[in-house]
Amino acid sequence: MTFLIGQVLQQETDLNMILQTLFSFAFIVYLFYAQRIQSLQMLRQIEVTLRKIKVVKDEARNIAVKTITEIGKPTVDISQRVDRFIDFFNIGLENMDPAGIVDKMDHMLKTNKHIYEAEVKALAPKATVSERSNLENLIEVTQALNMFYKILRHFYLLGKKTQNIYIILQVQMILPQIVQLVEAYKSGIQAFQEGMPIGDSVGPIVTAKLMHGYPQREVAEEIVAAEIPYEGRNLVVFKAKGPGGSVGNPDEGLINILEERQGKVKIIITIDAAGKLEGEPVGQVSEGIGAAIGGSGKEKFRMEEIANKYKIPMHAIAIKQGMEHVVAPLVEPLFDATEKALESVKRIVLDYSEPGDTVVVAGIGNTIGVGQ
Amino acid sequence: MSGQGNAASAASMTANWMAYAAILVVGILSLFSLYMGFQNYGDNQEVALIYMVIGTAGFAAIGYLLFRSRAPIAQDKLDTMKVEVFTTLECPKCQQKRVRDFKRGDFVFKDDEPCTRCDGLMLITKIARKKEEEKKQESTWL
């Protein structure tokens, strides 16, 4: 066939001339407009993602309004107030002089929490404390989706306006990660709407399994602890107070527990959800050292500081999961992994402490849908 | 914001009309090309072949254009946001186990409903999403 085409193209026919002209024209067009064509293609890809995110964030907003109305039974229309709160922002701390920034962050996080509590209380006056916590989480998801949409829209329109391929390229390159994050937040909507345990709840589930049936007390804001005898040791187990969606203040919980005992604690074990690398199975339980805790870094800093003050070794147990599992309703392999993590806790206690020792076990993460 | 939205939607509609106009033009030319190909098939085999190649390429381009213009619409439709979640209840007295759909208000370690076998109260011991379909396995050596 190639031979035949070659034969025809070599003949001096009208068709040959037309084809030559067309090819030359296409070549010239491509020579000058290749980048433009590429930009248009990339803009199209961004537009597709943007449309998708818009649908998700609108859906999230509608679900938030519907759920708040259903649970909170407000007497007035809350749509406008929800819309205003979805646009709520907090200004990052100035870190030019980083000394004392952890205290400033603590103050800012507490202010932020107070604002959320007050807003949700006003929006949903009939909701219980647990329900209000879940609604706070639902609004946070809606805010995150709204922020993704606004930022992507900004770069899309900026790229379209300036036709600057480098602006467009930067956004186009990170589109898969953005889609992954949006998908993750999307799956969190149902969990926060209904109050279901999420991937991040694995830490609190492990500690709840230890604490259940033992007397409990509040050791810090939204943190409950219980003392459990185990093989001659005294386990002080704590987690965020459930079943509402809360992470509590585990740093304050640990500080208070250690100060109460003047640091007479043999080891500290923290259990938390951790991001898995591609190829690692969901629900893999790994052990290590250090403070297994994410968040702003404030909690981790303070936990490390108090552990260092009393020179207490910190053991960490990580339950591996993908980004798509963190805020999505808990999948079975992750729930089953909590049993494996519990076994790890017991083994670490036996291996690294003696009878008569006190061991602190902290279940880190969002305790939504998990009692104690 | 709604102004921007309207402008974007108008631009999108214009782009769609332009795409459909291009499809129409290419379609007519391709059809003509194929017709010429069949006309010349007996007499001038080589020229007929060229016409056919052009016609076929034209239809392939139409297919691609249609695929491109429909893709965003198809992708706008999201997968269902809801997943099936079940609650497992166990009776601490008689070990009776029951699994039901999750309902709002359920939480792990909640004393939920009376046991159907004894006079105990069933405890929620597990809340999890129904097992997803097995994804294609990665190569075994990984």
Looking at residue B134, what is its pLDDT? 57
| Position B4 confidence tier, pLDDT thresholds 50, 70, 90 | very low
Q: Please answer yes or no on whether A332 and B131 come within 8 Å at the CB atom.
A: yes
Residue A17 lies in a domain: no
Looking at residue B119, what is its pLDDT? 84
| Position B141 confidence tier, pLDDT thresholds 50, 70, 90 | confident
CATH assignment of the domain containing A231: 3.40.50.1470
Q: A242 to chain B, minimum CA–CA distance in Å?
A: 9
CA atoms within 13 A on the CB side of A113: 14
Mean pLDDT score of chain A: 92
pLDDT at residue A228 tops 90: yes
Q: Which two tokens stand for residue A216?
A: 């409990």
Residue A368 lies in a domain: no
Same domain, A166 and A300: no
Pairwise CA distance, residues A71 & B23, whole Å = 52
In angstroms, how far is the first alpha carbon of chain B from the final one?
49
> A11 versus A91: which is more confidently predicted?
A91
The 10s digit of each residue's pLDDT in B79-115 is 556 889 999 999 988 989 999 999 999 999 998 888 8
Same domain, A152 and A296: no
Pick B47's closest partner by Cβ from A15, A48, A329: A15
B123: β partners: B90, B111
Q: A250 to chain B, minimum CA–CA distance in Å?
A: 20
Q: Which two tokens stand for residue A118?
A: 């007050």
Taking only Cα atoms into account, the Rg of chain A, rounded to an integer number of angstroms, comes to 27
- Which of A287-301, B55-69, B87-101 bottoms out in mean pLDDT, i.e. has the lowest? B55-69
Same domain, A134 and A149: yes
Q: Please answer yes or no on whether B129 and A372 come within 8 Å at the CB atom.
A: no
Looking at residue B33, what is its pLDDT? 83
Q: Please answer yes or no on whether A243 and B108 come within 8 Å at the CB atom.
A: yes
Pairwise CA distance, residues B129 & B107, whole Å = 14
Domain boundary among A144, A170, A194: A194
Chain B residues whose beta carbon lies within 8 Å of the beta carbon of residue A208? 108-109
Q: A187 to chain B, minimum CA–CA distance in Å?
A: 6
Residue A131 lies in a domain: yes
Q: Is B101 helix (H, G, I), strand (E, B) or coil?
A: strand
B81: DSSP letter? S
A358: β partners: A234
Total count of domains within chain A: 2
Pairwise CA distance, residues A77 & B33, whole Å = 63
The 10s digit of each residue's pLDDT in A26-41 is 788 778 888 888 888 8
Same domain, A187 and A210: no
Q: Please answer yes or no on whether B129 and A51 come within 8 Å at the CB atom.
A: no
Give the chain A residue whose CA is nearest to the CA of B33. Answer: A15
Q: A33 to chain B, minimum CA–CA distance in Å?
A: 18
Domain boundary among A133, A164, A194: A194
Q: Please answer yes or no on whether B104 and A195 come within 8 Å at the CB atom.
A: yes
What domain range includes position A299?
A: 199-363
Helices (H), ranges, chain B: 2-40, 45-76
> A360 versus B66: which is more confidently predicted?
A360
pLDDT at residue A2 tops 90: no
Pairwise CA distance, residues B37 & B53, whole Å = 9
Same domain, A236 and A117: no
Same domain, A142 and A82: yes
Looking at residue A16, what is its pLDDT? 67
Tell whether B76 lies on the interface with A, counting CB pairs under 8 A: yes
Q: Please answer yes or no on whether A372 and B109 come within 8 Å at the CB atom.
A: yes
Same domain, A88 and A150: yes
Tell me the mean pLDDT in the region B103-129. 91
Tell me the mean pLDDT in the region A261-277. 96
Contacts of B128 (CB under 8 A, 6+ apart): A197, A329, A330, A331, A332, A334, A335, B85, B86, B88
Chain B residues whose beta carbon lies within 8 Å of the beta carbon of residue A197? 107-108, 127-128
For the sheet with B85-90, list strands across it. B97-101, B85-90, B121-129, B111-114
Same domain, A212 and A316: yes
Pairwise CA distance, residues A313 & A351, whole Å = 13
> B63 versus A280: which is more confidently predicted?
A280
A221 and A273 in contact (C-beta within 8 Å)?
Answer: no
Q: What is the ipTM of this complex?
A: 0.85
Same domain, A350 and A208: yes
Q: B40: alpha, beta or left, given left = phi > 0 and alpha = psi -120 to 50?
A: alpha
pLDDT at residue A348 tops 90: yes
| Strand stretches in chain A, DSSP E | 216-220, 223-230, 233-240, 267-275, 285-289, 314-321, 358-363
Contacts of A288 (CB under 8 A, 6+ apart): A315, A316, A318
Helices (H), ranges, A216-360: 250-260, 298-309, 332-352
A199: DSSP letter? G
Looking at residue A28, what is its pLDDT? 84
Which of B108, B121, B136, B140 to mutate against chain A (most A CBs within 10 Å)? Answer: B108
Domain boundary among A175, A194, A213: A194
The 10s digit of each residue's pLDDT in A86-110 is 999 999 999 999 999 999 999 999 9
Same domain, A240 and A172: no
Tell me the mean pLDDT in the region A297-319. 96
Pairwise CA distance, residues B20 & A265, whole Å = 74
> B20 versus A50: which is more confidently predicted?
A50
Same domain, A249 and A134: no
Quickly tell me which residue has 């759920």 as its tokens: A67
Residue A60 lies in a domain: yes
Tell whether B107 lies on the interface with A, counting CB pairs under 8 A: yes
A137 and A80 in contact (C-beta within 8 Å)?
Answer: no
pLDDT at residue A156 tops 70: yes
Tell me the mean pLDDT in the region A45-60. 92
Q: Is A169 exposed, middle or buried (0-12, 13-18, 19+ CB in 10 A)?
A: middle
CA distances for A166 relative to A51, A60, A169, A240, angstroms: 22, 32, 5, 45
pLDDT at residue B2 tops 80: no
Same domain, A190 and A241: no
CB pairs under 8 A between A and B: 102
Longest dimension (CA), chain A: 101
Looking at residue A368, what is its pLDDT? 95
| Strand stretches in A48-120, DSSP E | none
